[in-house]
Amino acid sequence: MQRLTGLDASFLYFETSSQLLHVCALMTLDPSTVPGGYSFPKLRAALEERTENMPVFRRKLHNPPFNMHHPVWVEDDEFDIEHHVHHVAVPPPGGREELSELCAHIAAQPMSRRRPLWEFHVIEGAADGSLVIVAKMHHAGIDGVSGASLMAYLASTEPDAPLPILPEHQRKNPGAPGPIDIVSHGIRGIASRPVVAARLLREIAAPVPRFVMKAVRKEGMRIPFTAPRTSFNATITGRRSVAYCQAELDDVKKVKNAFGLTVNDVILAVCTGALRTYLADRHELPRTPLLATIPVSVRGRSQRDDQGSNKVSSIFSSLPTHLQDPADRLRYLADANRKAKEHHAMVPADLLQDVAQFASFGTLGLAVRAYSSLRLAERHPVIHNLVMSNVPGPPMPLYLLGSRITGMFPFGPVFHGAGLNITAISREGRIDFGIIAAANLVPDAWPIADAIPHALAELVRCTDTAPGAH
């Protein structure tokens, strides 16, 4: 029985009509590279061929009556590619504003849980001749790393590369379990919870108190509820705004090498500079640093790598938007990130996944709906300002169903109280940034996207006086 872990299921339980928990990507493609020429029927047929050999595309949720545990994944015996691949045209003139509005509309639509939780929207009519695909997958089924791996399966390093074939035993999902199996498995799961809780308490008995004391002494990462309030920290609605941009990875590496830091430090500093510009232009720049939640993969550290789709934990990172000098912001971030990583390493890698095993829809579903309807995000100190993520991607050119990928802009979920998400992915010598926000809080996300190249240029100019400059 392929049951969701508590962490995977939590993304279902926390979802509402305004807090959608799928992830999206806007991909720009060059259709001229398709062998024999591009057509929508050809693309759909190629995608259907791949989904026949990849079970993750054909699995759906099964949550029958009397299920006392998390839902299970089962094979969708009525799978139809028509339900998942949609053909649309961008309104003229087909520029970035029209594309982003269409992408925002797609991102704001929930997916039916009666079918596999993914969609491809194939968009034609872009002004520059690009083919555009907006992909959606539910967070219950993927995290950043597994999502990138899944795209790598769909893509190839050559436009006419042969289809990868999985072994026969890996090509099909389990069938729906019978009622006896569901009830007995649920009873065993509930009965084992005291044992799991006791083990969890033993694992955290020593590190968690040390972790808390380090936070209280301000020797590690900042704690939640210490973030300043901004215009994107309130109750969200279901509408979205979207923007995106690209930066040269060589520029990021030039800054990294000059200051002796990491690519992640530089990307965070670039986003911090863009947010400073955005907030200053709106006359709401806080006097204290912003606080970002940064998902981090625990693959390789996890003791339960064979369980579930999401292998993540979180780090809270201070973003020094209050500092005017870009080099000072970069040094501040590097020091804060080093302390946060050391602090985060004190707790078990599987802590979030283990705690989430006790999640239930009855508890979390009612709680998030009450939180939203009572607008509690505006009644307590801000937990965190936004979510930021940096996902390493493939360094070589990739072709998606024959079309060369020229841009891959990821969009994560936004939450009540933190209505902004900035995600970056490194790919083929570039960094692609995706910005998504609740439209009631950030009606236009383009000012943030447009500020990112300027923030990177500021840092590049600082390299002449950096300690490692030659």
Half-sphere exposure at residue 274, Cβ-oriented, CA atoms within 13 angstroms: 25
Which one-letter DSSP state was computed for residue 439? T
**Cβ pair 368, 16 in contact under 8 A:** yes
H/E stretch holding 256? helix 249-259
CA distances from 148 to 24, 136, 390 (A): 12, 13, 12
Whole-angstrom Cα Rg for the chain: 22
User: According to DSSP H, which parts of 283-325 are helical?
Assistant: none
Closest to 431 measured CA to CA, from 274, 319, 320: 274
Instruction: Strands of 104-180 (E only): list them.
Output: 118-124, 131-138, 155-156
Q: Is 139 designated active site? A: yes
**Cβ pair 416, 384 in contact under 8 A:** no
User: According to DSSP H, which parts of 298-432 are helical?
Assistant: 326-344, 351-356, 361-373
Residues near 164 by beta carbon (within 8 Å), at least 6 away in sequence:
53, 153
Cβ–Cβ contacts within 10 Å for residue 357, how many? 22
Which residue out of 138, 139, 322, 343 is catalytically annotated? Answer: 139
* C-alpha torsion sign, points 362, 363, 369, 370: positive
Half-sphere exposure at residue 310, Cβ-oriented, CA atoms within 13 angstroms: 30
**Cβ pair 318, 222 in contact under 8 A:** yes
Closest to 269 measured CA to CA, from 245, 293, 252, 294: 252
Number of helical (H) and strand (E) elements in the chain, helices listed first: 12, 16
Which one-letter DSSP state was computed for residue 211? H
**Cβ pair 126, 94 in contact under 8 A:** yes
Which one-letter DSSP state was computed for residue 55? G
Give the tokens for residue 257: 């090498």
**Cβ pair 431, 247 in contact under 8 A:** yes
Burial string for 168-203 (b: 16+ CB within 10 Å, else e) reads: eeeeebeebbeeeebbebbeeeeeeeeeeeeebeeb
User: According to DSSP H, which parts of 308-360 are helical?
Assistant: 326-344, 351-356
Catalytic residues: 139
